[in-house]
């Protein structure tokens, strides 16, 4: 998972400086809307899903008033009616994709996802055909500067909170838990007064495929095409993200 976390954190650092920021805001607003609707109302103290969505919105530097407007709109009579839908398929060279969307028009989203696959050498599959290739994990991104002085002791606290893997990058700590321990870790970080830069359930590939750099770059370009679609919330794949590929993409 080391390549996964390093690549995610590189993209995260760049995200606030380019067009990804607008998409991050859109994603955060949709997450807030879904959390209010399905998680139990507009009070974050009584709605853990909303509390997490607000935390993630802060993590992408969304202004406080924008967050408050999103919560208010999601709890009003004119709230957008979003639905969570997922898609599975293959990209070039047999790379598996699992795509999560939040949409108010499923037909539009299906057509868009199918089109992106078809135009880039891939194919949309049947739901359930590839889900077994991914393992649902809780993933928490923590800023090291906020915990550096208590890092050794803090790791013990994380293990008590259900951490199965802790990966250290230059600026971030990425903590993985089992899916069932996501709430436990969230509570542990709250008790420690640590607000994650990002926390969410992700689908981590159980096995990855390594491709030559040029072929791998085409897969990441396809990931970008999916992420540019307004309905797409998360894109998961089983491409091996190694240092050679990361260096090539940073050039």
Burial of 101 (0-12, 13-18, 19+ CB in 10 A): buried
Q: How many domains does the chain have?
A: 3
pLDDT in tens, 24-50: 888 899 999 999 988 778 898 888 889
Q: Verify that 103 and 138 share a domain, yes or no.
A: no
Place 229 in a pLDDT band, splitting at 50, 70 and 90.
very high
pLDDT in tens, 125-150: 998 889 899 999 999 999 887 776 66
DSSP string, 205-219: ESS-B---HHHHHHH
Q: Verify that 215 and 126 share a domain, yes or no.
A: yes
Q: Verify that 141 and 125 share a domain, yes or no.
A: no
- Measured CA to CA, the distance from residue 181 to residue 250 in angstroms comes to 34
Which of 72-86, 147-161, 177-191, 209-223 comes out lowest in average pLDDT? 147-161
Domain that holds residue 196: 133-205
Give the residue-averaged pLDDT of 4-11: 63
pLDDT in tens, 71-128: 999 888 777 888 889 999 999 999 999 999 999 999 999 999 999 999 999 999 998 8
State the Rg of the chain over Cα.
Answer: 18
pLDDT in tens, 11-24: 655 554 556 677 78
- Measured CA to CA, the distance from residue 229 to residue 27 in angstroms comes to 11
Tokens representing 154 are: 């803090």
Domain harbouring 49, CATH code: 1.10.10.200
Give the chain's mean pLDDT: 87
Q: Verify that 30 and 123 share a domain, yes or no.
A: no
Q: Verify that 182 and 240 share a domain, yes or no.
A: no
Q: How many helices (H) and strands (E) does the chain have?
A: 9, 8
Q: Verify that 225 and 127 share a domain, yes or no.
A: yes
Q: Verify that 40 and 125 share a domain, yes or no.
A: no
Q: Verify that 159 and 112 share a domain, yes or no.
A: no
Q: Verify that 149 and 29 share a domain, yes or no.
A: no
Q: Verify that 140 and 26 share a domain, yes or no.
A: no
Q: Verify that 114 and 154 share a domain, yes or no.
A: no
- pLDDT, greater one: 168 or 162: 162
Q: Verify that 15 and 103 share a domain, yes or no.
A: no
Domain harbouring 114, CATH code: 3.30.70.980
């Amino acid at each position: 998972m080391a390549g996964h976390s390093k690549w995610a954190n590189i993209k995260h650092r760049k995200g606030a400086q380019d067009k990804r920021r607008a998409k991050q805001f859109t994603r955060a607003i949709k997450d807030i809307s879904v959390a209010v609707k399905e998680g139990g109302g507009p009070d974050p103290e009584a709605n853990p899903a909303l509390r997490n969505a607000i935390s993630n919105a802060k993590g992408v530097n969304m202004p406080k008033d924008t967050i408050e407007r999103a919560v208010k709109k999601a709890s009003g009579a004119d709230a957008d009616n979003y639905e969570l839908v997922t898609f599975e398929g293959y990209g070039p060279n047999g790379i598996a994709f699992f795509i999560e969307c939040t949409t108010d028009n499923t037909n539009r989203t299906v057509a868009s996802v199918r089109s992106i696959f078809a135009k880039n050498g891939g194919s949309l599959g049947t739901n359930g055909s590839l889900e077994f290739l991914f393992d649902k994990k809780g993933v928490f991104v923590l800023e090291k500067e906020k915990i550096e002085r208590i890092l050794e002791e803090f790791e013990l606290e994380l293990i008590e909170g259900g951490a199965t893997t802790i990966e250290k990058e230059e600026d971030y700590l990425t903590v993985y838990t089992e899916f069932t321990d996501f709430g436990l870790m969230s509570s542990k970080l709250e008790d420690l007064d640590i607000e994650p830069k990002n926390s969410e359930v992700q689908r981590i590939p159980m096995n990855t495929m390594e491709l030559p750099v040029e072929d791998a770059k085409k897969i990441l370009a396809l990931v970008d095409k999916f992420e540019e679609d307004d309905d797409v919330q998360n894109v998961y794949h089983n491409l091996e993200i190694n240092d050679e590929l990361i260096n090539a993409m940073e050039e």
